[in-house]
Amino acid sequence: MTSDGVEVGRIGGGLCCLVGFTHDDDEAKLPKMADKLWNLRLMDDADGVMNLSVADTTKSLLLVSQFTLYGDARKGRRPTWIDAARPEHAEPLFDAFVEHLRELGATAETGRFRTEMQVGLINDGPATIMLEM
């Protein structure tokens, strides 16, 4: 992942997670969110079955702050991001979320908040999950 042409985060095998917050998210939700992501069984076991978590395997997470996850395009042709938390609310939540994951043992790489980032991804076995907490 790069920001302004500078590499700011990189992992090998692991999970790339787009993380967004809305207005009613708060720090009380973060431990549960971190535990869910850390222990979600999305990684293949020896038989190729998604039976292991990132905690059981690589421990690597690439965490990308992404307010556009809360884009709403139900009306018109231009999405609105009114449901996305303002940066001054979302940034401390994102930082605290990353810290919770690191406390669990994650090697958590991140981008730079409020910058244009370029994220490269090799999707090894297409699994994309949307988690709402």
Q: Which domains does the chain have, with CATH numbers?
A: 2-117 (3.50.80.10)
CA 17 to chain centre: 3
Phi, psi of 62 (to 5 degrees): -105, 110
Distance from C-alpha of 55 to C-alpha of 37, rounded to nearest angstrom: 9
pTM of the shown model: 0.93
Distance from C-alpha of 80 to C-alpha of 78, rounded to nearest angstrom: 7
Distance from C-alpha of 21 to C-alpha of 38, rounded to nearest angstrom: 18
Q: What is the chain's pLDDT, residue by residue, as a tens digit (133 residues)? A: 998 889 999 999 999 999 999 999 999 999 999 999 999 999 999 999 999 999 999 999 999 999 999 999 999 999 999 999 999 999 999 999 999 999 999 999 998 888 888 999 888 876 888 888 7
Distance from C-alpha of 3 to C-alpha of 72, rounded to nearest angstrom: 26
> Where in the sequence numbering do the catalytic residues fall?
66-68
